[in-house]
Amino acid sequence: MANELPVINIKAQSNHHAVFLMLTASFIAFTTLVFSQGYWRQFQLPLIFIYLSALVTFITGLAKYLQPPYSLYLTPKVIKYQHRYGQWYINWQQIQRISLINETYGLNSIQLPYIGIRLLDLSIIATHISPRLANRLIHEQRPLLALAIKMGYLTLQQSVLNFEPYVLPSGERLKGPLAAFLHHSAALHNALGYHLFLPESAIDRELSEFCTLLNQCMRSASKYHEAPR
């Protein structure tokens, strides 16, 4: 339709070569099966190793194939993150800052393999993320907490998973995975300055280039208005 908003679809790097890996694994397994008909006793251990390698390769390809076709959808209104375990989305107007994450450890400058997103209000994400994804991200982002502890930004106690209810500004008390994720995001914000983190594996280009694209989208968002339906 002519009045639909433009969408930029981003395909994750982690999705690449899924079909190739599965076909390669299937070919290796079939070839090994044919060869083993006459040489199983002589080469039993090497053949078992090849079978296991083919199985691992096939499972890796299958895991890539089962990922959502696109990891991010960028429209003039929202940024939407798609994950195998669910999704989150945020209006551009609800974002305060998008930036690369650079930290100094000793004499070395470290660029983390994430793009950080700072929200105007953390409670915004409470209604914009699926509980299953919230639970998954807590575990996927443990390396960020470990880094924050190593650099002295958080204590070990502050990084422990918090199961206490999270109270929204409206007074509503959230429990379960959503509450735990909001506590987790608050801890990361105190340590690193951001609430949400886009991993490098979820994008299709260099971090700096993609960060520039996101900032361009955020600046341009105010120029668009949703067409009447």
Residue type, 191: A
Q: What is the pTM of this model?
A: 0.78
HSE of 206, CA atoms in CB hemisphere, 13 A = 4
User: Using the 8-state DSSP alphabet, how is residue 167 labeled?
Assistant: E
Domain co-membership, 122 together with 27:
no
> In terms of domains, do 206 and 100 share one?
yes
Indicate if the alpha-carbon torsion angle 50, 51, 55, 58 is positive or negative.
positive
Alpha-carbon distances of 204 from 14, 109, 183, 208, rounded to whole Å: 9, 24, 30, 12
What is the reported pLDDT for 14?
63
pLDDT value of residue 201 = 87
Query: Do 142 and 55 share a structural domain?
Result: no
Separation of alpha carbons 120 and 128, rounded Å = 14
Is 136's pLDDT higher than 60? yes
| 60 in the same domain as 114 | no
The reply to whether 211 and 132 lie within a common domain is yes
Interval 77-132: pLDDT, tens: 999 999 989 999 999 999 999 999 988 776 778 889 999 999 999 999 999 999 99
Pairing of strands 166-167, 78-83: unpaired
Residue 90 placed within a domain? yes
Q: Which helix (H) or strand (E) holds 197?
A: strand 196-199
Mean pLDDT confidence for 45-65:
81
Segment 5-43, tens digit of pLDDT: 688 899 877 666 667 777 888 888 888 888 888 777 777
Predicted confidence band of residue 4 (pLDDT cuts 50, 70, 90): low
- Domain match, 200 and 89 both: yes
Q: Is residue 8 part of a domain?
A: no
Q: Which residue range forms the structural domain that includes residue 34?
A: 13-65
For residues 48 and 120, membership in a common domain is answered with no
